[in-house]
């Protein structure tokens, strides 16, 4: 993986993390207001879920050159 | 009427929450990494002009947002010493040299050995 590719992946990871945390926070606020009488629990849950999604996406993105797909192994 | 009202209330709430989830999913905020990055670039391109327009409408102006040019790869230790690393190493060497020289000049053993010669 070249340095340029790594740079792009990290940039994408940070952007994705900002988007996911923001979306989780927003949805958490909506759920908190609508269903949970303005308690902070859904906000924390949404933010945590957003962080987890971002982490998972980033891990998948960084591991992608080393992943072995079953379709490739069947060809061999 | 008293039985219908709570149902309508709950249906409205579910519709609002479901609509929020649908909008977030539809605009690519909950998808993969690339979709998220695309959504962020779209938002950064669309939000500042809209905010400026609203600010003009209300009669005040925001200062220009500072541009952040930072990539974490630049902070990666690739074996090449950075300018800051060189500075720190130079200061450490200078300090060590200073401490050794100070100890030499002030210690009695050094002075006695010097006078014995």
- Cα–Cα dist B26/B20, whole Å: 10
Query: Which residue did the predictor score with more confidence, B7 or B29?
Result: B7
ipTM of the assembly?
0.78
A chain contacts of residue B68, beta-carbon cutoff 8 Å: none
Average pLDDT over residues B2-30: 90
Measure A58 CA to nearest chain B CA, in Å.
7
pLDDT given at position B116: 54
Cβ burial, residue A25 (10 Å; 0-12/13-18/19+): middle
Residue in chain B lying closest to A5 (CA): B73
Q: Which two tokens stand for residue B40?
A: 């962020």
pLDDT tens-digit map of B49-67: 888 888 888 887 777 777 7
Where do the structural domains in chain A lie, given as residue ranges?
17-63
pLDDT given at position B79: 66
What lies within 8 Å, CB to CB, of B34 at 6+ separation is: A12
Nearest to A19 among B20, B40, B71 (CB): B40
Query: Which residue did the predictor score with more confidence, A6 or B111?
Result: A6
pLDDT tens-digit map of B71-115: 666 676 666 666 676 777 777 877 787 777 777 777 766 555 555
Q: Is the confidence at residue B45, as pLDDT, over 80?
A: yes
Look up the pTM and report it.
0.65
pLDDT given at position A32: 94
Residue in chain A lying closest to B30 (CA): A20
Q: How far is CA B74 from CA A1, A41, B79, in A?
A: 16, 37, 12
B78 and chain A in contact, CB less than 8 A = yes
Residue in chain A lying closest to B75 (CA): A7
Inter-chain residue contact A30 with B16, CB threshold 8 Å: yes
Q: Which of A15, A21, A59 should we substitute to test contact with B (largest number of B Cβ atoms within 10 Å)? A: A15
pLDDT tens-digit map of A9-64: 888 888 889 899 999 999 999 999 999 988 999 999 999 999 999 999 999 888 88
Q: Calculate the CA A1 to chain-centre distance.
A: 21
What lies within 8 Å, CB to CB, of B65 at 6+ separation is: B48
Average pLDDT over residues B5-34: 89
């Amino acid at each position: 993986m070249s340095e340029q590719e790594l740079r792009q992946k990290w940039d994408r990871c940070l952007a994705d993390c900002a988007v996911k945390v923001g979306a989780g926070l927003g949805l958490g606020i909506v759920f908190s207001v609508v269903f949970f009488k303005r308690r902070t629990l859904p906000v924390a849950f949404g933010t945590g879920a957003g962080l987890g999604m971002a982490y998972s996406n980033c891990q998948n993105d960084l591991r992608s050159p080393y992943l072995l797909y079953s379709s490739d192994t069947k060809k061999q | 009427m008293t039985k219908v009202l709570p149902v309508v209330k709950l249906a409205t709430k579910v519709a609002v929450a479901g609509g929020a989830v649908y909008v977030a999913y539809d605009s690519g905020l909950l998808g993969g990494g690339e979709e998220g990055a695309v959504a962020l670039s779209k938002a950064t391109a669309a939000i500042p002009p809209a905010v400026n327009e609203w600010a003009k409408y209300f009669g005040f102006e925001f200062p220009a947002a500072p541009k952040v040019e930072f990539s974490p790869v630049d902070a990666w230790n690739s074996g090449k010493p950075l300018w800051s690393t060189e500075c720190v190493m130079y200061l450490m060497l200078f300090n060590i040299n200073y401490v050794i020289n100070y100890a030499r000049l002030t210690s009695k053993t050094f002075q006695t050995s010097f006078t014995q010669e």
